[in-house]
């Protein structure tokens, strides 16, 4: 089992970020919209948003699939509290739970949508096994997640400074494919890089903090990151500054569609 993530810390970090998340999550919204656009409008009786965060996609899922029940599940109570208050959605049930141990009956869901959440799972085969268990026969699992090249600029810049793990490690395309094997059938799996541009590095680090995704991993440095090390990190990141003067931050995004059949 991959023990790099600690669930209570993930839940706590995202709960704390609930209020700031929507203000800095433009990329997350864009990726979720791309994922949503993969499927045509249709009616699905029971739909789940797995790792729903602030609930941004709940009204869009309700509008697109007209479910009789929309289960919005997340590990972080703080995210759910924010979502309940800000995203009133017909037929929505806001549920605290873990994607790897779903509090749901077998064969009960028609469609699972999950954008940028499953990269936080410790054990992807158990996630896919849970998804297969709760999906009805013929049900679909539509997800986006992040690959190992995500934020490689941060990883490489820190590696010039210390030996700690400053960026979460995400699994490769082939590991992702292998994790689903035996549980679900692949309809499509593709990858697409997204590059965000910043004038200053602090804009990127503030954004990561606002999202709640700043380095929750077992290999992270403990205590404060010293001033001298921060300066060295910033200097190392300058190697990536482009000719147009902008600093890039790369996200390697995987988009998957799987079917239970």
Ligand X SMILES: C[S@@+](CC[C@H](N)C(=O)[O-])C[C@H]1O[C@@H](n2cnc3c(N)ncnc32)[C@H](O)[C@@H]1O
* Closer residue to ligand X in complex, CB, 44/115: 115
Is 51 among the residues that bind ligand X (CB under 6 A)?
yes
Q: How far is the CB of 122 from ligand X (least distance, A)?
A: 8
| Nearest residue to 239 (alpha-carbon basis) of 158, 185, 173 | 158
Which of 121, 151, 167, 201 binds ligand X (CB under 6 A)? It is: 121
The answer to whether the CB of 51 falls within 8 A of the CB of 114 is: yes
- What is the Cα–Cα distance from 14 to 115, expressed in whole angstroms? 15
* Closer residue to ligand X in complex, CB, 57/233: 57
Q: How far is the CB of 198 from ligand X (least distance, A)?
A: 19
What x-and-dash track marks residues 219-238 binding ligand X by CB under 6 A? --------------------
* Closer residue to ligand X in complex, CB, 71/161: 71
Is 52 among the residues that bind ligand X (CB under 6 A)?
yes
Is 100 among the residues that bind ligand X (CB under 6 A)?
yes
* Closer residue to ligand X in complex, CB, 123/238: 123
Which of 25, 72, 124, 180 binds ligand X (CB under 6 A)? It is: 25
What x-and-dash track marks residues 55-94 binding ligand X by CB under 6 A? -x----------------xxxx--x---------------
**Of all residues in this chain, which one has the CB nearest to ligand X in the complex?**
53
What x-and-dash track marks residues 189-218 binding ligand X by CB under 6 A? ----------------------x-x-----
* Closer residue to ligand X in complex, CB, 69/159: 69
Is 115 among the residues that bind ligand X (CB under 6 A)?
yes
Is 130 among the residues that bind ligand X (CB under 6 A)?
no
| Nearest residue to 59 (alpha-carbon basis) of 44, 49, 51 | 49
Stretch that binds ligand X, among 39-47, 96-104, 162-170, 171-179 (CB under 6 A): 96-104
- What are the tokens at 38? 């993969």
Q: How far is the CB of 5 from ligand X (least distance, A)?
A: 8
Three-state SS sequence of the chain: CCCCCCHHHHHHHHHHHHHHHHHHCHHHHHHHHHHHCCCCCCCCCEEEEECCCCCCCHHHHHHHHCCCEEEEEECCHHHHHHHHHHCCCCCEEEEECECCECCCCCCCEEEEEEECCHHHCCCHHHHHHHHHHHEEEEEEEEEEEECCCCCHHHHHHHHCCCCCCCCCCCCCHHHHHHHHCCCCEEEEEEEEEEEEEECCHHHHHHHHHHHCCCCCCCCCCCCCCCHHHHHHHHHHHHHHCCCCCCEEEEEEEEEEEEECC
- What are the tokens at 3? 């023990």
- Which residues of the shown chain bind ligand X in the complex (CB under 6 A)? 10, 14, 25, 28, 32, 51-53, 56, 73-76, 79, 98-100, 115-117, 120-121, 211, 213
């Amino acid at each position: 089992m991959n023990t790099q993530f600690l669930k209570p810390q993930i839940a706590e970090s995202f709960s704390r970020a609930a209020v700031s998340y929507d203000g800095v999550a433009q990329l997350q919204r864009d990726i979720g919209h791309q994922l949503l656009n993969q499927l045509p409008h249709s009616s699905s009786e029971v739909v789940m948003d797995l790792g729903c965060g602030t609930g941004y996609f709940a009204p869009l899922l309700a509008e697109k699939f007209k479910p009789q029940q929309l289960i919005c599940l997340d590990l972080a109570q703080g995210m759910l509290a924010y979502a309940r208050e800000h995203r009133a959605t017909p037929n929505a049930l806001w549920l605290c739970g873990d994607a790897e141990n779903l509090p749901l009956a077998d064969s009960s869901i028609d469609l699972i949508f999950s954008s940028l959440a499953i990269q936080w799972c410790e054990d992807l085969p158990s996630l896919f096994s849970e998804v297969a268990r709760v999906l009805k026969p013929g049900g679909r699992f539509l997800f986006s997640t992040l690959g190992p090249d995500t934020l490689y600029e941060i990883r490489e810049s820190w590696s010039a400074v210390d030996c700690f793990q400053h960026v979460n490690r995400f699994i490769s395309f082939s590991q992702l494919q292998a994790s689903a094997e035996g549980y679900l059938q692949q309809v499509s799996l593709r990858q697409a890089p997204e590059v965000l541009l910043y004038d200053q590095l602090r804009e990127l680090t503030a954004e990561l903090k606002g999202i709640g995704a700043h380095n929750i991993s077992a290999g992270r440095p403990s205590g404060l990151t010293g001033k001298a090390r921060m300066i060295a990190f910033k200097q190392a990141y300058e190697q990536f500054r482009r000719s147009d003067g902008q600093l890039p931050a790369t996200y390697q995004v995987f988009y998957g569609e799987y079917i239970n059949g």
